Chains A and B, each alone.
Chain A
Amino acid sequence: MASISLRVNGKSHTVDVDPATPLLYVLRNDLDLHGPRFGCGLGQCGACTVIIKGEAVRSCIRPVSTVQGADVTTLEGLSGDGKLHPLQQAWIDEQVPACGFCQNGQLMTAKALLDKNPTPTDAQIRQGMAGTLCRCMTYYRIQAAIKRASKTIASARNEAGSEVIA
C-alpha cells in the first residue's frame, strides 16, 4: 500500500492503495465516482473510460500510480456550473441510451474525439468510436448525437467568437 495523490474533476484526493491498483477501482470505490464502470478489465470495451490530458483512457488497465499529478476527468466532471456538456444534452435530445451502462465510455470517448476534431465526418466518428462497445446497440443514435453536439459546439463558438465552450 502507498499514499497516492490524485486530481479528479478539479479536486485533490489522497488514497492509500497498492500502486498497481487500476485507476477504475480507486475512482469507483474510494472516490465514489460511479460514472466509469467495469466492463472487461482488459481495455477492450471502453465502459471505464476517463479523460487524462485530453486522451480517452481506459481506467481499468491504468495503474493508479501512473496518473499521479495528472488531471483526471470522469463523467461526473463533464458538466460544469450545473450545465450539461453539449454532448450530454445531445444524448438527451437524441434519447440515446437504452440500458445506459456503456454510455460513460461513449460520452467520454466522444468528448475526446470532438476536442481533437470538432467537426468529424461520419467515417471519422465510426472509426473514432469503433473501440467503444454497446451491447444494446445504440450506435445509430450515438453517432447522431455526436453530430448534433458537434453542431451545437460550432454554433456556440461562432456566437462567442473565439471562446471555447466545450
Chain B
Amino acid sequence: MTTRRDFIKTSGFLVVGFSAAGVVHQIPLAAQGAGPYPDVDFRQLDSWIVIRQDNTATFFVGKTDLGQGTGTAFRQIMSDELDMPYDKTSCVMGTTDVTVDQGGSGGSDALQTDGYPMRRVAAEARRVLLEMASTRFGVPVAQLVVSDGVVSVASDPSKKVTYGELIGGKRFNVTLTGNNINATTGTAKLKDVQQFKIVGTSPQRYDIPSKVDGSLKWAVDAKVPGMVHARNVKPPVAGAKLVSIDESSVKNIPGFLKVVSKGNYIAVVCEREEQAIQAARQLKVNWQKPATAPFPSSEELFTYIRGAMTTSSTPPSIVGNPDAALKSAARVLEADYEIPFQGHTSIGPAHAMADPSNDQLTIYSNDMKSYGLRDGVAEFLKMPRDRVRVVWMEGPQAYGRTAADDAGFEAAFLAKEIGRPVRIQWMRNEETAWDTKGPAFAVKVRGGLDAQGNLVGFDYDARSADFNHLGYNEHNTVLISQLMGARSEMPARGSAAAPNEMYAIPNRRMTTHVVSLPAIWETPLRTGNLRDPNGPQSTFASESFIDELAAAANADAVDFRLKLLTASTEEDSGFKRARSIAVIKAAAEKFRWDTRPSPKRAGSGEILTGRGIAYAFRSQTVVAQIAEVEVNRRTGHVWVKRIVCAHDCGLVINPEALRRTIEAGTLYGLSRALHEEVRFDTEKVTSVDWVTSPTLTHADTPETMDVVLINGDPNPNRPDLPHYGAGETMCKPTLAAIGNAIFDATGVRLRRVPFRDARVLAALKAAQV
C-alpha cells in the first residue's frame, strides 16, 4: 500500500520539486499504487504539514487553484504563521488521497473560509516546534525566538536549531480538534496581522514559470501506459432517444476498439486520439426526436420566462410599504431587464483520464471540486469510496464548470467498461453547446421618486430559468448519468437573486422566482455555477435601474448612490456599508469623475463617449467599477476604453496577484456584457464554436485598467483584520457599469445584454441617435 508518508519520502507518485527559485511543480509520474485510498484525517497535524530535514516544508491543502494564485496565497499565509521563509515551502492541492477534503474550490471562499484552518494548523506546528526546542535547550518557550525556520535562545543566539533538525522526516503526532474541517484548530494563537512578514507582499506565483516554459503537466496531458482515447457521440437534438447504432460504420477505422453505449449515452474508444475523433464523427446512429420541443428558441426565451409557471418563489423581502410608496411617488419608473443564458465556454473542453488498474480507479482531473468527483464517481460506479481517488492537475479556466464534471465521470465509466486507462476530451461544439449554463434572468424593476428626486420606493422582481440547477458532482445529475436515465427525485430548485447593495431605501420589496424550461433532463441548457452564479444578472438589472432613477432625478450617478448609502442608520455588520462608500469614492477619485447628471450631451461625431458606474458586494467583498466607453454611432460597436475597479476584500495576501485577478475578472465581466449569449432553436443549441459564441478578444481590451485596492474597514489596523474572497465579486457590476456608460454616451438605455454591435445599432437607430 502506498501511504502518504511513502509519497512524502519517496515522492513516488507526485514529485514536489524545488528549483533554485523555489519553484514547485507537482508532476504525476506513473500509474497508481495499489491503494486503497482512505480519507486524509484532518485532525492530524501531519496531514497538513510536512517538514523535512533540509528545513523545507510542504503544505497539503484541500483546495484547488483555478489560476488566481490561491496556492501562492496559501503558501504565504501558512509560511507566515509557521515562520518559514516562503521560498522554502511548497503547496500540494486537491489530490484526494494526499490532501484533506476542504471541498476544492467554489464560492470564492479559499481565503475567506479555508484560509483560517490553514493558518491555525501552521500556527500549531510552530507552537509544537517551539515546545520541542524548549525541551532541547532547557529554556522556557518565552525565552526562544524563531525566524525563518530557525529557533534560537534569545539570550544566547549561538544556541539554535532548525525546524528540520527538530522534526525533519518525523511525524508531529499531534491531534487537532474541531467538529469539522473549517473548525480545525490546535491550541496556538494566530498571529496579529501586523506580525505578518510574507502576507501583504507579492512573491511571484510559483505556478507561472512552468506554464510559460511548457514544462507543467496538466490534466489534459495525463498519460499512462496502455491508455486509449475516447470521444462522445452526443444526441443531435436535446432529449433524443437512441434507437440503434450501426457499429459497422466505424469498424474500418484503424485502431477502433469499441462503441460503448448505455441509455442515450454513446462513446467510441480507439487506440489513438485522432481515430476516436474520426469514429465519433463517422458513427451512424439512429435517434428518435422527442415529441415536444425541449425549450423555446432563444428569441422567445424572455417571453417564455415571463409567462412560465414558477417552480419556486422566495418570500418577498419587504421594507416599509413599497406599494403605497410607489402609488404616492411623484414619478414612477418601470423597466424590464433581460440576461440570456451564458455558457462557461472554457478555452479547453472538458477532459479527464481514468486508470482502472489494480481494481482501483484513479482519475486525473482538473476538477475544481476533486473530492466531490471522487464521491460522485464512487456512487455512480458503485465502488467503495476508498478505491477511487482523484489526482488533481491544472486545467483550463471554467469557474464552476467542473462542479458538474461530466468528463471525469465519463472517463471513469469508460475505463471500467474497457478495462484500460481511458482519456476523454470533448470537442469544441460539444463543450460550447453542452456545458452547464449560467441561468437566464428576466427582471422587472419599479422605482418611485418623490418631488425632490429622492428614491422612496423600489420593487425588484426577478425570474430565473434555473430549475434543476447542477452543482456538486452528484452521481445522478451529471450529464452521463442523465443520458443513462438517472433522475434525482428532487431536482435542485435553483435560485434567482436579489441585488447585493447597501442602499437605504425606505420602502422596498425584493422577490425572486425560479421557472423551468420544458425539458430539465438530458438538455444542453442545464444550469450550473457560472462565476458568481447569479450576481452579474441581478446586478445588471438593479444597478442599471439605479442609474435610470438617478438620471430621472437629474442627479449625478455617484452622488445618487452615495446618498442612498449614507442615508442608512442601521447597524453596519462587517462594515459593508462603510466599505461600499469607500469603494465608490475611491473609484470616482481614481477616474476623476466629474459630477453631472447623465446622459452627457451627445456630440455630433461618429464616436460618442460616456462613463458609467456600478457597484456590488459578494459576501464581504465590495467592488465599484467605472467604465468609459466609446460608442460608434455608425456601426453600433462599443469599446470600453478605460475601466477603474476599486476593490475591498479585507486583508490582502498578495497585492500583485490580486490585481491581476481583478483585471482579468473585470474583463470577463466585460466579455459577458459585450459578447456572450447562448443561442438555440427549439431543439438544440446553435452556439457551437468561437464564431457562433463570440468572446472578448485582444482587440476589445481597454486601453487603461486601474485597480484600486482599498480597505474601508473603520479600523484597518485591527489585529484580526479578516481576509475575504476575491474570485468573483469583480465580475458582478461590469455589465451595469458598461450599460450605464452607453446611456451616458448616447442617451439610449440598453436593458438586454450582450451589447453586440447589431443590438446597439438597432437601439441607436430606434432612438434616432
Contacts and interface: CB of A to CB of B under 8 A. Distances in A.
Contacts of A97: 67, 207-208, 211-212
Given A101-B395, A102-B347, A140 B667 contact: yes
A140 B214 contact: no
A141 interface: yes
Given A29-B273, A100-B67, A143-B698, A136 B213 contact: no
Given A88-B212, A130-B698, A136-B67, A101 B347 contact: yes
A150 interface: no
A44 B668 CA distance: 19
Interface string B525-545: 000000000000000000000
Most buried by B among A76, A84, A101: A101
The main secondary structure of chain B at its interface with chain A is: loop
Nearest to B207: A100
Contacts of B68: 98
Contact of A35 (B66, B67, B214): B214
B113 to A, nearest CB: 22
A34 B690 contact: no
A59 interface: no
Interface in A54-82: 74-76, 78-79
Contacts of A22: 274
Contacts of A95: 204-205, 208, 656-657, 660
A1 interface: yes
A133 interface: yes
A49 B659 CA distance: 28
B397 A98 contact: yes
Contacts of B275: 18
Given A92-B208, A95-B656, A41 B427 contact: yes
A94 B719 CA distance: 32
A6 to B, nearest CB: 15
A41 B432 CA distance: 13
A17 B209 CA distance: 33
Interface in A101-123: 101-104, 107, 122
Nearest to A101: B396
Interface residues of A, number: 60
A130 B699 contact: yes
A38 B705 CA distance: 30
Nearest to A106: B698
A133 B697 contact: yes
Contact of A142 (B66, B214, B661, B698): B698
B668 A75 contact: no
Contact of B660 (A44, A45, A79, A138): A138
Contact of A39 (B428, B656, B663, B705): B428
A147 interface: no
A8 interface: no
A165 interface: no
Most buried by B among A22, A96, A140: A140
Interface in B658-697: 660-661, 663-665, 667-668, 670-671, 689-691, 695-697
A99 B698 contact: no
Given A22-B274, A101-B396, A42 B428 contact: yes
B640 to A, nearest CB: 12
B347 A18 contact: no
Nearest to B216: A100
A135 B213 contact: no
Most buried by A among B214, B254, B660, B661: B214
A166 to B, nearest CB: 16
A37 B273 CA distance: 13
B218 A107 contact: no
Nearest to A40: B428
Interface string B378-421: 00000000000000001111100000000000000000000000
Contacts of A38: 220, 348-349, 425
Given A95-B204, A95-B205, A133-B690, A75 B221 contact: no
The main secondary structure of chain A at its interface with chain B is: loop
Contacts of B254: 1, 18
Contacts of A134: 347
Interface string B65-109: 011100000000000000000000000000000000000000000
B672 to A, nearest CB: 10
B261 interface: no
B212 A84 contact: yes
Interface in A1-57: 1, 17-18, 21-22, 25, 28-29, 32-35, 37-42, 44-45, 47
B701 interface: yes
Contacts of A104: 214
Contact of B698 (A1, A47, A74, A132): A132
A21 B274 contact: yes
Most buried by A among B213, B220, B668: B213
Nearest to A122: B703
B217 interface: yes
Contacts of B660: 95, 98, 138, 141
A37 to B, nearest CB: 6
Contacts of A79: 213
Interface in B152-203: none
A125 interface: yes
Contacts of B590: none
Most buried by A among B212, B348, B397, B660: B212
Given A39-B428, A45-B347, A135-B397, A140 B702 contact: yes
Contacts of B690: 40, 42, 44-45, 133
Given A44-B690, A92-B204, A127-B699, A138 B664 contact: yes
B663 A140 contact: yes
A47 B214 CA distance: 13
B297 interface: no
A34 B218 contact: yes
Contacts of A136: 67, 347, 397, 664, 668
A149 to B, nearest CB: 12
A131 B697 contact: yes
A91 B212 CA distance: 7
B127 interface: no
A41 B68 CA distance: 27
Contacts of A44: 428, 689-691
B212 A141 contact: no
Contact of A99 (B221, B349, B394, B696): B394
25 contacts: A18-B275, A21-B274, A25-B274, A29-B272, A34-B214, A37-B218, A40-B428, A44-B690, A45-B347, A76-B213, A97-B67, A98-B67, A101-B395, A104-B214, A126-B698, A126-B699, A129-B698, A130-B699, A132-B698, A133-B690, A134-B347, A135-B345, A137-B668, A137-B696, A139-B696
Interface of B: 66-68, 204-205, 207-209, 211-218, 220-221, 223, 254, 272-275, 277, 345-349, 394-398, 425, 427-428, 656-657, 660-661, 663-665, 667-668, 670-671, 689-691, 695-703, 705
**The 7 nearest A-B residue pairs measured at CB:** A99-B67, A100-B211, A137-B667, A35-B214, A98-B67, A101-B396, A75-B214
